[in-house]
């Protein structure tokens, strides 16, 4: 923020007040106007005195930003002040594009790893691979850098270049790339195919609601329809964090009658109250639908799931969604900064809010609403639904069939890193590749080399029991404890053997993605992903599907 030169006699707070008045801030009631003007003058005076008279010269910009962030902390976590870098990220979220080299990155084992290069980009064309560890950028070590730091350095004006050095499994020395930045467009729909071709059950992976999301979904549905085999559709929203409300409305409109209310918003003022309706005829008005949701499904994705559920247009499967029922707008501020501010809440067609946390109650633990406070509503067919806990699935069946071993392998990125090693040692794989017993045994040996370990819930319970026995000096039970520990270790080895076929399938996904990209991973998951298989089975069982949506 700029500070007026000392030669100016006009007090800073008056200048700031005039600027605020000029933006048309004061459209509230007279009491609000008085409180705002009074407290703004106090804030401005404190800020001016600190900047001009504090014993150690403070950084004016940092001091103001600390004050702004402290003020916003008292509100919900979605109302935030954004500097120039944050504005770039918002642009990516809303428009689905940015200037960069096309590398999806993440932190694995405290290293910045390329998760996947985006097809068609400079990173993809010049041979950066999934699993590469980025060690340098523009001659600077990436040690200690955050993901945000590295992303900001990789992004920039299309046509400019950036130099990277990576470490690759099997390569004796770092590999250096000079990558050209270009306009990178992120896909909203990352995969569309038949999950069960014989039964005509389609599957679409829907990743985000950036600009153009509804058009991509329309194209994917129509492509499947052109085969004349489409009898049902699984729409996967499990990892979809949301995006633009308008895109969510248009996406839901592809499946519901024209003129249907899909979502409504209500805020502090009348201008924030609006009902969003489907404006065009649906492309698939009668197609049986199953929606997969999970704990990460949020915001715009919840709008679609909530609307489909309330209109009894789809069966919702999976886990309860995140529960973000707040709508934000981005208000431009001076010097390429912005305020992302919550202005309203959205409500599903039945009238329920799916917001899980009431930030007005100032719960220190951000706990969701208690069951006793959740209102009951009804879908179009009279099925009960409740507010205040996200969108809850229509079925209570747990679909998480992974063992503790598999969860630990995913958590430690073991499949990911072994696939790097496999690809470094094998230039190609044969058509119809499958993970053999020999490959799985090599995977097990590699886990031993890497000293992979994990603790089961039973081992945690045993450790707690040992502590309690030690405190109470029950030394006579040490033999029994040792026997339990040995039995648990034996069981962990047995789990690996029992889950061999499941482990092979998960390893195959990761290996295929090294040779054919992320879409190959999704395609490989269709025959063993428990959520997808459950959705396909339901769509194939018309009586069961109908009983859920129209119970007697």
Question: Residue 168: which of 443, 547, 462, 421 has the closest Cα?
Answer: 421
CA atoms within 13 A on the CB side of 37: 12
Going through 181-253 in order, the beta strands assigned E by DSSP cover 182-185, 189-196, 201-206, 232-236
Residue 541 to residues 18, 290, 308, 398, 552, Cα–Cα distance (Å): 67, 12, 19, 19, 17
Q: How confident is the model at residue 19 (pLDDT cuts 50, 70, 90)?
A: very low
Mean pLDDT of 406-413: 87
Q: What is the pLDDT of residues 56-114, one digit of tens each?
A: 999 998 999 899 989 998 899 999 998 876 766 676 766 777 889 999 999 887 889 99
364 has a pLDDT exceeding 50: no
Catalytic residue among 324, 387, 394, 529: 324
- DSSP letter assigned to residue 257: -
Q: Contact at 8 Å (CB) between 163 and 180?
A: no
Encoding tokens for residue 497? 């053997």
Instruction: Based on the residue annotation, tell me whether 324 is a catalytic residue of this protein.
Output: yes
Instruction: Report the alpha-carbon distance of residue 391 to residue 324 in Å, rounded.
Output: 10
Active site residue 148: no
Contact 289, 231 (CB under 8 A): no
Q: Which residues contact 147 (CB under 8 A, 6 or more apart)?
A: 105, 106, 107, 112
pLDDT level of residue 486 (50, 70, 90 thresholds): confident
Q: At what angle do helices 30-53 and 12-22 cross, to 10 degrees?
A: 140
Q: DSSP secondary structure string, 268-330?
A: SSGGG-EEEE--S--SSSS--EEEEE-TT--THHHHHHHHHHHTT-SEEEES------EEEEE
Q: Which stretch, 11-15, 71-75, 325-329, 508-512, has highest mean pLDDT? A: 508-512
Report the DSSP pairing between strands 97-100 and 182-185: antiparallel
Closest CA to 176 of 124, 131, 142, 126: 126
pLDDT tier at 453 (50, 70, 90 boundaries)? Answer: confident
- When pLDDT is cut at 50, 70 and 90, the band that residue 367 belongs to is low
pTM, two decimals, is 0.82
Long-range contacts of 326-334 (CB under 8 A, 24+ apart): 326/76, 326/78, 326/355, 327/245, 327/265, 327/267, 328/78, 328/79, 330/82, 330/90, 334/19
Q: How far apart are CA 262 and CA 307, in angstroms?
A: 6
Known catalytic membership, residue 353 = no
User: What band does 493 get if pLDDT is binned at 50, 70 and 90?
Assistant: confident
Average pLDDT, the chain: 86
Residue 329 has pLDDT above 70, yes or no: yes
Alpha carbon separation from 30 to 14, 21, 33, 38, 543 (Å, rounded):
20, 14, 5, 12, 61
Say if strands 232-236 and 201-206 run parallel, antiparallel, or are unpaired.
parallel
For the residues of 420-441, what is the DSSP string, one character each?
A: HHHHHH-S---TT----HHHHH
Cβ 181 vs Cβ 161: under 8 Å: yes
The answer to whether the beta carbons of residues 76 and 84 sit under 8 Å apart is no
Q: How many Cα atoms occupy the beta-carbon half-sphere of 188 within 13 Å?
A: 27
Q: Which of 196, 207, 310, 529 is catalytic?
A: 310
pLDDT tens, 126-179?
989 988 999 999 999 999 898 888 988 998 889 999 999 999 988 889 999 999
Domains annotated for the chain, with CATH where assigned, are: 12-73 (no CATH), 97-185 (2.30.42.10), 189-396 (3.90.226.10), 404-534 (no CATH)
- pLDDT per residue as tens digits for the range 243-255: 999 999 999 999 9
Residue 317 is predicted with a pLDDT of 96
Residue located via tokens 């800073």: 12
Catalytic entry in 190, 299, 338, 353: 299
Mean pLDDT across 498-524: 93
Give the per-residue pLDDT at 171: 86
> DSSP label at 209?
B
pLDDT value of residue 389: 82
Closest CA to 335 of 84, 89, 86: 84
3-class DSSP string for 140-183 = EECCCCCHHHHHHHHCCCCCCEEEEEEECCCCCCCEEEEEECEE
**Tokens representing 503?**
């482990």
Q: What is the mean pLDDT of residues 339-351?
A: 94
Give the per-residue pLDDT at 97: 75
Is 70 exceeded by the pLDDT of residue 395? yes
521 is written with which tokens? 């991973």
**According to the model, what pLDDT value does residue 258 have?**
97
Residue with tokens 């679409």: 204
């Amino acid at each position: 923020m700029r500070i007026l030169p000392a030669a100016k006699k006009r007090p800073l707070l008056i200048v700031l007040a005039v600027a605020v008045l000029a933006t048309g801030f004061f459209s509230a009631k007279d009491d609000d106007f008085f409180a705002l003007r009074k407290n703004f003058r106090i804030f401005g005076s404190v800020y001016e005195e600190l900047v001009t008279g504090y014993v150690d010269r403070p950084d004016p910009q940092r001091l103001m930003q600390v004050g702004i962030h402290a003020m916003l902390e008292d509100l919900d976590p979605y109302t935030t002040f954004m500097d120039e870098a944050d504005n770039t990220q918002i642009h990516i979220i809303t428009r689905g594009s940015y200037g960069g080299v096309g590398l999806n990155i993440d932190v694995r084992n405290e290293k910045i790893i390329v998760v996947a290069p985006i097809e068609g980009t400079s990173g993809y064309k010049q041979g950066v691979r999934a699993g590469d560890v980025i060690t340098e950028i523009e001659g600077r070590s990436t040690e200690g850098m955050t993901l945000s730091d590295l992303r900001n350095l990789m992004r920039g004006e299309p046509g400019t270049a950036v130099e990277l050095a990576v470490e690759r499994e099997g390569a004796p020395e770092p590999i250096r790339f000079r990558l050209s930045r270009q306009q990178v467009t992120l896909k909203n729909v990352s995969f569309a195919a038949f999950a069960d071709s014989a039964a005509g059950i389609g599957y679409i992976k829907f990743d985000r609601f950036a600009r153009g999301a509804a058009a991509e979904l329309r194209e994917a549905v129509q492509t499947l329809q052109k085969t004349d085999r489409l009898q049902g559709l699984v729409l996967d929203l499990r990892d979809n964090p949301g995006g633009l409300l308008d895109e969510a409305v248009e996406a839901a409109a592809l499946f519901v009658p024209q003129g249907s209310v899909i979502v409504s918003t209500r805020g502090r003022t009348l201008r924030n109250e609006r009902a969003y309706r489907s404006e065009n005829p649906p492309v698939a008005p009668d197609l049986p639908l199953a929606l997969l949701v999970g704990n990460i499904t949020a915001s715009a994705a919840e709008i679609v799931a909530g609307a489909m559920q309330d209109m009894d247009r789809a069966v919702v499967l999976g886990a309860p969604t995140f529960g973000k029922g707040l709508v934000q707008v981005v208000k431009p501020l001076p010097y390429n900064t912005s305020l992302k501010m919550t202005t309203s809440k959205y409500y599903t067609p039945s009238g329920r809010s799916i917001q899980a946390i009431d930030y007005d109650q100032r719960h220190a633990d951000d706990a969701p609403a208690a069951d006793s406070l959740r209102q009951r509503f009804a879908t179009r067919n009279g099925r009960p639904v409740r507010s205040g806990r996200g969108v809850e699935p229509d079925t209570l069946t747990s679909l998480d069939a992974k063992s503790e071993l598999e969860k630990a392998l995913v958590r430690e990125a073991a499949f990911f890193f072994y696939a790097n090693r496999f690809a470094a040692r094998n230039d190609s794989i044969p058509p119809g590749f499958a993970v053999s017993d020999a490959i799985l045994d090599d995977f097990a040996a590699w886990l031993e080399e890497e000293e992979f370990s994990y603790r089961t819930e039973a081992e945690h319970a045993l450790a707690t029991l040992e502590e309690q026995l030690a405190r109470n000096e029950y030394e006579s039970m040490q033999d029994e404890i040792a026997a339990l520990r040995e039995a648990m270790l034996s069981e962990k080895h047995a789990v690996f053997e029992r889950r061999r076929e499941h482990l092979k399938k998960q390893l195959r996904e990761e290996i295929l993605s090294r040779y054919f990209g992320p879409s190959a991973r999704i395609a490989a998951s269709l025959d063993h992903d428990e959520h997808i298989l459950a959705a396909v089975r339901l769509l194939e069982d018309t009586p069961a599907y109908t009983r859920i949506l129209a119970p007697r």
